[in-house]
Amino acid sequence: MALFPRIIDELGKRGLDDVLVVIGGIIPDVDIPRLKGIGVKYSTAQLQGRIVLPRGSGGYPGRGTELPPYRSVTVVLPSGERYSGVLVAISLFNVTVRDAAGAARSFGRDGDVPRIEIVDPLQAHLDLMRTLTDADMHNLTAFLVTLR
């Protein structure tokens, strides 16, 4: 699955966006558990929904239901003190962290103080989403629905 995006990207760079590409081959063993049965686990709408809104109905921390994997955050105070946990909410004015014990802690923000370090396991997916066309989304969904 890693080679396909690079092939499409190269075709696009060469002005060959209208070339039909058929990819075949063997799905690596490591990908089989993640793909097996996906076409029967989810409806077409659910599949496309998880592609477009991978965090669920919320999409933004603190609003709606956020699905795992969650974003982790470390708040670094000017004193060097660090607080880490799951990102609950962030705005220009506040950041809220839930620690491993489940306690929530909020910090006021003033520009870049305190320093906020966010690790988002879905960042690569979100970056890719910005590059997909409607046709790409349709084709991806159609393919996933066939995986039984």
pTM over 0.75: no
State how far the Cα of 93 lies from the Cα of 33, in Å rounded to an integer: 42
State how far the Cα of 64 lies from the Cα of 92, in Å rounded to an integer: 20
Give me the pLDDT at residue 117, please: 96
Instruction: Decide the pairing of beta strands 82-90 and 72-76.
Output: antiparallel
Span 133-146, pLDDT tens digits: 888 888 888 888 88
Q: Enumerate residues 6+ apart whose C-beta is below 8 A from 57.
A: 64, 65
State how far the Cα of 54 lies from the Cα of 140, in Å rounded to an integer: 15
Give me the pLDDT at residue 80, please: 96
Contact 88, 40 (CB under 8 A): no
Where the chain has pLDDT below 70, the residues are 1-4, 16-25, 57-67, 148
Span 57-68, pLDDT tens digits: 544 444 455 667
Contact 87, 104 (CB under 8 A): no
Burial class, 33, CB count within 10 angstroms (exposed 0-12 / middle 13-18 / buried 19+): exposed
